[in-house]
Amino acid sequence: MSTDRPAAPESVHFIRAIIDQDNRSGKWGGQVVTRFPPEPNGYLHIGHAKSICLNFGLAREYGGRCHLRMDDTNPTKEDVEYVESIQEDVRWLGFDWGEHFYFASDYFGRMFSYAEELILKGKAYVCFQTEEEMRATRGTVTEPGTPSPWRDTAPEDNLRLFRQMCAGELPDGHCTLRAKIHMGHANMKMRDLPMVRIRHAHHHRTGDRFCVYPLYDFAHCLSDSVEGITHSICTLEFENNRELYDWFLDNLDGVHHPQQIEFARLRLSYTVMSKRKLLALVKDGQVSGWDDPRMPTIAGLRRRGVTAESIREFAERIGVAKANSTVSVELFESCIRDDLNSRAPRLLAVARPLKVTLTNWPEGQVEELDAALWPHDVPKEGSRALPFSGSLFIERDDFALTPPKGWHRLAPGGEVRLRHAYIIRCDEVVQDDSGEVVELRCSVDLDTRSGSAAADRKVKGTIHWVSAAHAVPAELRLYSRLFRVEDPDAAESYAEALNPDSLEIVRGAFVEPAAATMPQDARLQFERQGYFWADPKDSKPGALVFNRIISLKDSWAKAQPAAAPAPLLRVTTTHKDKMTGIKTMLSVGKTGSTLHPTYGVPMLVAKIVLENQEVRDYVDGAIWSEPDPAITPAMIVNMVVNELLPAAKGAPLATLSLNPAGLAALVGLVTGGEISTKQAKEVLAECLRGGESPAAVVKRLGLSQLSDDASLKPLVDAVLAEHQDKLIELRAGNVRLLGFLVGQVLKRSGGRANPSRVQALVEEAAARA
RNA sequence: UGGGGCGUCGACAAGUGGUAAGUCAACGGAUUUUGAUUCCGUUUACCGCAGGUUCGAAUCCUGCCGCCCCAACCA
């Protein structure tokens, strides 16, 4: 286990912030109950892993629990095969749902009685429109829909009809139970969505017990509710559904009402994530199955040899937010390498062998080298016996007849070190009739064995090798990215997007003997090649098959101009630099120049006041209430627009506990120098909360502003003394430090220092250099 | 054209009125019997754009631009 490295500090993403807030307010009594609710109609993938890590991780962090729930409301699509694979995958990722394994289908009976409750309340009705009719009458995003002719059926009739549906007296599609909400609702989801449909189908769990099945929106909130979920976390596309989620639970009596929270699902570059496309890859035979090591499925990653730890680390590193974004696959690869680096013992293997004969090695002699399994910076002990002889295989790629510039490997007449062994010199190249190199005849420098006295002779390169007589044959499967384009979803077709070289099967490779005796599930590094492990399905003793989990970084290959293995096609989708600049410049009305005659503010600001009678009355009231000539209408308007309106949070201004005269008084405190604008904000909030007058708040909180230099100077000097370096930087032209220093003085004064005076003093000090 | 969301370095992502975190990538350099790892350092992100408020704005206000989601008896 690679747990000795300090865990990355977890960031407080917005969901953790919500939970922290709930725990402070006691909203759920300190409980955190989450759930992972997959539909058992496909295999889980890395995108689900993000959600699993989030839900189970949160529960673990906060000492709560996370349920695993099969969202099996659609009998025609779901299958037990999937419920098993899902459980296996979640468990493999390292999470435990304990007793809390559920099926939405367990709640069907309760859901239908909730449906009856809604029917009786006149909140649901049985509708006989066909699918097409329903679509046609739903309206569009800009036009309202038209009500169903059955919308006003009496509750008792609806109840009778609904019971007929449930009893199986009606054929598929004959009618549905619909929520009675509003056919003109701006949120399309609220336009009387169907809750229950008729499906005479065999369900993988409830068998033929039901012939009606609830739809997602109705089923999901109730499943969460009956399980006592507190935080129902789902992906962004369900944001529109939240209103419906809340509607159902608000309209049912005495039900628990979880909070739905949406976050951005994972998108990965060079990867497809949709079930449909993944299924197509399997069906079209582009991959060998759901667990093909190139697949982003959990099963595929597992078979490739990726560890659960690296997936969890990845989930933590990408964070959780609401911005729709695409994580570059390099980040995932980095997590995989990082985990394997400290986990995998190092061994030697040759993928494409080239014979090397050591001409001066004693005939038939075999030397057993004691070779360390770990590099110097992995704090682990251990070595294995590595047989060395006069007949070896090296990697074909490690020899070049005409070496390019910067070549560190073997070339005619050149020297390299054989890892853990000797330095050899290539004396002779044997080629066949076609000119292909078939053998190298080399001489070995017998004084240079690793660890021996004279071993420190330096040569440019070190290469891997195996002894021909001891080499164990193996098949290597070299996997790389399935797609060669960054955004395969945007590609026209597979043909164009698929990487033709995503799997290279190398038969005739050789591994050192120790590789055959490692535990079956051990992750290994074949030095200079990558991380591997034995394929769990196909590798057998005597017929070894190793999957490459991930290659090593290769700065040599990357530096070679032509050979760059990286993407051939790049579909760039920078949503930046679109011309937004130009467009806005054309459409913007300049606000700076013209001021509104009575209010003295830019027209655009005045418009806010003018267009809303309520605001206008308030502003005018404030202006006329205060005879103090130091207060201009502009000050009032700015205070109202920029501070009061947002603080009021949409409440009618007339109901505010700060009346126009009070607001004018507040402005007066600022112009009079009693408080700063910053403090004014605080006072405003207090007035709104408690109904006190501004002056009373200032008095109670002791906010009176410090403006005299006599009390300010010592504070400024103290801060400057403490931050000498910052003052120097400020003098050097880093004006941002001005804000920092002023802020420090303000903090020291408990917020009472007059900021503009402080700023002047700091500027003076800086100028005094 | 209605409603719901989202725009901070090449990629993720903190930050919620007082010096724009961190990670990956990239680029240098050191160490290295893996062209790996490790370690150091670098890349001036003026925070979608434009105005406004403020001593001070990524953060507050206004307008605009761009992207995503919603019109399955799928989830």
Would you list the DSSP string of A453-489? TTTT---S-EE-EEETTT-EEEEEEEE--SBSSS-GG
Residue A735 approaches strand B within 7 Å at CB: no
pLDDT tens track for A146-169: 999 999 999 999 999 999 999 999
Residue A499 approaches strand B within 7 Å at CB: no
Residue A431 approaches strand B within 7 Å at CB: no
Question: What are the CA-CA distances from residue A738 to residues A341, A676, A725 (Å)?
Answer: 46, 18, 13
Provide, in whole angstroms, the distance separating residue A754's CA from nucleotide B55's C1'. 9
Among A62-71, A531-540, A578-587, where is mean pLDDT lowest? A578-587
Residue A605 approaches strand B within 7 Å at CB: yes
Residue A51 approaches strand B within 7 Å at CB: no
**How far is A626 from A295, CA to CA, in rounded Å?**
72
Q: What is the pTM of this model?
A: 0.93
Residue A553 approaches strand B within 7 Å at CB: yes
The verdict on whether A458 is a catalytic residue reads: no
Q: Which of A27, A123, A199, A265 is catalytic?
A: A265
Mean pLDDT value of segment A59-80: 97
Under a CB-based contact definition with an 8 Å cutoff, are residues A232 and A59 in contact?
no
- The residues near A384 (Cβ < 8 Å, ≥ 6 apart) are A347, A370, A371, A373, A514
Q: Which nucleotide is nearest to A174 (CA to C1')?
A: B73
Provide, in whole angstroms, the distance separating residue A428's CA from nucleotide B51's C1'. 77
Q: Is pLDDT of A567 > 50?
A: no
- The residues near A369 (Cβ < 8 Å, ≥ 6 apart) are A385, A386, A387, A388, A420, A421, A449, A450
Cα torsion for A676, A681, A683, A684, to the nearest 10°? 140
How much is the mean pLDDT over chain A?
A: 92
Check residues 93 to 112 of chain A and report those whose beta carbon is under 7 Å from nucleic acid strand B: none
Residue A431: pLDDT band with limits 50, 70, 90? very high
Please tell me the predicted confidence (pLDDT) of residue A128.
98
Take residue A325 and report the two structure tokens written for it.
Answer: 């974004």
Provide, in whole angstroms, the distance separating residue A601's CA from nucleotide B52's C1'. 9
Q: Is pLDDT of A509 > 90?
A: yes
Provide, in whole angstroms, the distance separating residue A198's CA from nucleotide B49's C1'. 52
Provide, in whole angstroms, the distance separating residue A460's CA from nucleotide B12's C1'. 38
Question: What are the CA-CA distances from residue A541 to residues A473, A515, A517 (Å)?
Answer: 11, 11, 9
Residues in a beta bridge with A503: A479
Under a CB-based contact definition with an 8 Å cutoff, are residues A363 and A407 in contact?
no
Give the rounded percent of residues in chain A with a pLDDT score beyond 70.
94
Please tell me the predicted confidence (pLDDT) of residue A768.
82
Residue A510: pLDDT band with limits 50, 70, 90? very high
Provide, in whole angstroms, the distance separating residue A509's CA from nucleotide B43's C1'. 42
- Residue A445 host element (H or E): strand A437-445
Take residue A105 and report the two structure tokens written for it.
Answer: 């289908």
Residue A387 approaches strand B within 7 Å at CB: no
Determine the residue type at A428.
E
Residue A39: pLDDT band with limits 50, 70, 90? very high
Residue A34 approaches strand B within 7 Å at CB: no
pLDDT tens track for A691-734: 899 999 999 999 999 999 999 999 999 999 999 888 888 888 88
Provide, in whole angstroms, the distance separating residue A377's CA from nucleotide B41's C1'. 21
Q: Is pLDDT of A584 > 70?
A: no
Q: Which of A27, A267, A275, A352 is catalytic?
A: A275
Continuous H helices in A434-591 = 494-497, 555-559, 580-587
How many other C-beta atoms are found inside a 10 Å radius of the C-beta of residue A567? 15
pLDDT tens track for A228-275: 999 999 999 999 999 999 999 999 999 999 999 999 999 999 999 999
Find and give the residue nearest to B71, measured CA to C1': A140
Tell me the three state secondary structure of residue A107.
helix
Residues in a beta bridge with A477: A505, A547
pLDDT tens track for A623-633: 998 678 889 99
Q: Is pLDDT of A767 > 90?
A: no
Q: Contacts by A327-334 with C-beta closer than 8 Å and gap 24+? A: A327/A266, A327/A267, A327/A268, A327/A269, A328/A268, A328/A269, A329/A268, A329/A269, A329/A270, A329/A271, A329/A481, A332/A46, A332/A268, A333/A550
Residue A575 approaches strand B within 7 Å at CB: yes
Under a CB-based contact definition with an 8 Å cutoff, are residues A353 and A476 in contact?
no
The verdict on whether A39 is a catalytic residue reads: yes
Q: Which nucleotide is nearest to A452 (CA to C1')?
A: B33
Under a CB-based contact definition with an 8 Å cutoff, are residues A195 and A116 in contact?
no
Please tell me the predicted confidence (pLDDT) of residue A593.
56
Cα torsion for A242, A246, A249, A252, to the nearest 10°? -130
Under a CB-based contact definition with an 8 Å cutoff, are residues A178 and A124 in contact?
yes
